[in-house]
Structure 1
Amino acid sequence: MDDSTNKNEFDHAWKPVILSPRDQVDKNVVTKLKDTGKVMFFDTFELQLTELIKTMNPKRSLSLEELSEKKIDYYKASGNSAQECGNWIYYPWRKTLVRVLEEKDFIRLRTIRNKYKITEEEQQKLREQAIGVIGLSVGQSVALCLAMERCFGELRIADFDTLDLSNMNRIRTGLFNLGLKKSWIVAREIAEIDPYLKVSLFNDGVSEANLEEFLTWKGKKLDLLIEECDSLPVKIQSRIKAKRLGIPVIMDTSDRGMMDIERFDQEPGRPIFHGLLGGFGEEADLMAKIPDRGKEIMMALLQFDNLSERVKYSFLELGKSITSWPQLASSVVLGGAACCHYARMILLGLSVASGRFYVDLDQIIDLNEG
């Protein structure tokens, strides 16, 4: 068990507890949890080990006898008995214990289907990267996609909000999470996919007061920022600070598949939002102009004329028939996948230029019909 984690803090809102069957204290904790009769436990270690051995011997199908022999070899090599291998993961919010492979073997098996699409060297490089995600509507899809592909060593997620029923038209979660912090929901789901991934939470979101801390948490500067929040001040401030720190920024707007990429790591003098806000004066003065010209600034950075007709119409209905602009699950999931794809490319040093482009599914159909 990690020394930084208190074994008694099982009421933690989002962080799993890793318990080693080779550590007597941890073994006692596992026993006590089981003895309560209130904790479900799942031990599929043998199933995972069987799959691991098969993936390590891809050239032929192993017989049951050969599998058994290789399992014995595995236990001997580890220096532990069958019962002492792997780790128990305790999920306090689910009151559930799950036994999984130890970290190295777990990662190897969980990413085996990435192989050659992402090389082993690339996968290792991704484990060294820190990514920040601000806003957890589109950001939830981004974060989960990044976690499934294991595209980071640390993920920082920030959102001040809690889950409302109306959010569930685009956020994949369950009704039992209503009222919970969105950051907890995302962190829990990542932990249930991969308990070894490092996730840091900013439960109050980001603001001018803590934005620098978010970008440089514990002395580690982000390698990439993915900005998906609704706040105009945060959109502007995050880019100004990311630009100063040389951090690239990605954004998806979940309309017409619009992707925004700003390579401040390669172009330190690049104007934020591709210079679309140049008509409002110097970047340093933009924040002071938001109270009077915020709507104009937002329309300029979104390039209002390029928005879909239905989203344009929705802006006219804000404050009349709707309280916020609409987003659909299909667009949000598409944006999450696109952000993950380009994040991986940027972090691996592949060629990704600054710019704005559209993955417009409606336009693709129109072009094909033409």
Structure 2
Amino acid sequence: MLTDEELLRYSRQVLLAQVDVAGQLKLKASRVLVVGLGGLGSPVALYLAAAGVGELHLADFDRVDLTNLQRQVLHDTTTVGLLKVDSAVARLQAINPDIALVRHSQALDADSLGNVVAAVDLVLDCSDNFTTREAVNAACFAAGKPLVSGAAIRLEGQLSVFDPRQAHSPCYHCLYGQGSEAELSCSEAGVLGPVVGLVGSLQALETLKILAGFGEPLVGRLLLIDAASARFRELRLKRDPHCPVCQVRLG
């Protein structure tokens, strides 16, 4: 049940017919893994904590740097030099002390990543490199857990949902194969803060839709964002029948 304080805290979203008390209870019972606490992970973690997702697993082995603060709004000047997971926990506890926060401050190898993914209901890939995205995708499909994947660089962003519970869903590997042409990091190519904020906010929205069970998640669709022209495009994605990552599970 929701306490009186929880009903008051979440009253504005409980008022929505798509959420209601039943949806809020689903959020409260949910466990979510956020991989990466940078530009994308910042709005993701902030909005999911504020929305009352019951247990957030926070994975990042990096430390807060001054160059992060232009876009990584989860952190601030006073936390420069701290582990990002520690900076994040302090901020999220201040926003919502009622949720559980689990730190993962060590780099996750294949085994540990698999264990962490198996322990949650949904995973958000907020990382900034292809190797991590491929590993997270493989772990999610092996464990049968939905993956909300986002990326942003320069003035461009993209977003999709890969859900191994749905037979028609492609996976990240179906889309990019052995690598993406856009493997530059933000430190090499640059990025505008609101662009990662936009993509991360949309990732949080897709997560709430999936967990509370409303709307139409971006499964089988890739949302492309051109911030310079304020244009959004949507591409349909099909599962690769020869994909080595998802064909074993989906058949």
Aligned to 1:148: 50
TM normalised by structure 1 equals: 0.56
Q: Does 1:333 align with 2:176?
A: no
Determine which structure has more spread, i.e. the larger CA radius of gyration: 1
Q: Does 1:298 align with 2:200?
A: no
Per-residue deviation, 1:243: 0.5
Partners of 2:129 and 2:150 lie apart in 1 by: 14
Per-residue deviation, 1:194: 1.2
Unaligned 5+ segments in structure 1 are: 1-102, 281-296, 305-314
One of 18, 23, 28 as aligned partner of 1:127: 28
Partners of 2:15 and 2:104 lie apart in 1 by: 35
Q: Aligned-pair RMSD on alpha carbons? A: 2.5
Q: Is contact 1:145–1:336 with CA below 8 Å preserved after alignment?
A: no
SS of alignment partner, residue 265 of structure 1: coil
Q: How does 1:259-338 map to 2 (within 5 A)?
A: 259-267=159-167, 270-273=169-172, 275-278=174-177, 280=178, 297-299=179-181, 315=184, 323-338=187-202
One of 62, 65, 78 as aligned partner of 1:164: 65
Same amino acid, percent of matched pairs: 23
Give the partner amino acid of 2:203: C
Q: Is contact 1:159–1:205 with CA below 8 Å preserved after alignment?
A: yes
Aligned to 1:258: 158
Aligned to 1:115: 14
Partners of 1:259 and 1:174 lie apart in 2 by: 26
Partners of 1:366 and 1:229 lie apart in 2 by: 22
Q: Does 1:356 align with 2:222?
A: yes
Partners of 1:366 and 1:202 lie apart in 2 by: 34
Q: Is contact 1:156–1:200 with CA below 8 Å preserved after alignment?
A: yes
Per-residue deviation, 1:274: 5.9
Q: 1:104 to 1:360 in 2, by over 3 A?
A: same
Partners of 2:209 and 2:6 lie apart in 1 by: 20
Q: 1:253 to 1:212 in 2, by over 3 A?
A: same
Per-residue deviation, 1:272: 2.8
Q: Higher helix share goes to which structure? A: 1
Q: 1:271 to 1:108 in 2, by over 3 A?
A: closer
Per-residue deviation, 1:365: 6.1
Give the partner amino acid of 1:112: S
Q: 1:366 to 1:202 in 2, by over 3 A?
A: closer
Structure 1 stretches of 4+ with a deviation exceeding 3 A read 322-325, 359-367
Unaligned 5+ segments in structure 2 are: 234-251
Q: Give CA deviations for 1:221-267 in whole Å, capped at 9, x if unaligned.
A: 32111011124322112111210111111111124331121111213
Per-residue deviation, 1:323: 4.7
SS of alignment partner, residue 258 of structure 1: strand
Partners of 2:55 and 2:147 lie apart in 1 by: 17
Alignment: residue pair count: 224
Q: 1:325 to 1:159 in 2, by over 3 A?
A: farther
Q: Higher strand share goes to which structure? A: 2
Aligned to 1:11: none
Q: Is contact 1:248–1:262 with CA below 8 Å preserved after alignment?
A: yes
Per-residue deviation, 1:184: 0.9
SS of alignment partner, residue 324 of structure 1: helix
Per-residue deviation, 1:203: 0.9
Aligned to 2:244: none
Q: 1:203 to 1:362 in 2, by over 3 A?
A: same
Aligned to 2:84: 182
Partners of 1:349 and 1:323 lie apart in 2 by: 37
TM normalised by structure 2 equals: 0.80
The answer to which structure, 1 or 2, has the higher relative contact order (CA under 8 A, 6+ apart) is: 2
Give the partner amino acid of 1:153: G
